[in-house]
Amino acid sequence: DAGVIQSPRHEVTEMGQEVTLRCKPISGHDYLFWYRQTMMRGLELLIYFNNNVPIDDSGMPEDRFSAKMPNASFSTLKIQPSEPRDSAVYFCASSFTGSPGLEVDTQYFGPGTRLTVL
């Protein structure tokens, strides 16, 4: 079975450019999470969706960041305009809460997109 798929794996762009990161979650999963990982701040949750609906975007750094999930099999994270401090590895993860009352389930992470903003 395919795991979480992210594209591109690497992105190098110049300050001020728009960047779009893509994620395909595992089929059948109902939660999707976007994280950012840096040496300084570790792994930070940016936003998560349940059944394609954004539930909590309190981790999104500022208005330059936006995320969408138009359907159950696709999500995007967009940065416009990008800045050098946005350089990080961005992970997408998905999970399935199969049992009522089961509040914690395994999050399956994609391989990440390494973003470098010059």
Partner 1 sequence: TQLLEQSPQFLSIQEGENLTVYCNSSSVFSSLQWYRQEPGEGPVLLVTVVTGGEVKKLKRLTFQFGDARKDSSLHITAAQPGDTGLYLCAGGRSNDYKLSFGAGTTVTVRA
Contact stretch for partner 1 (CB under 8 A) within 50-58, 61-69, 71-79, 80-88: 50-58
User: What DSSP designation does 81 have?
Assistant: S
CA distances from 73 to 8, 45, 53, 76, 86 (A): 16, 20, 13, 11, 26
Rounded CA separation 20/75 (Å): 10
Among 65, 77, 110, 115, contact with partner 1 (rule: CB under 8 A):
110
12 binds partner 1 (CB under 8 A): no
User: Residue 14, CB half-sphere, CA atoms under 13 Å: how many?
Assistant: 0
**Using the rule CB under 8 A, is 23 a contact of partner 1?**
no
Residue 45 touches partner 1, criterion: CB under 8 A: yes
- Residues of this chain that bind partner 1 (CB under 8 A): 4, 31, 42-45, 48, 50, 55-56, 91, 93, 95, 97, 103-104, 106-112
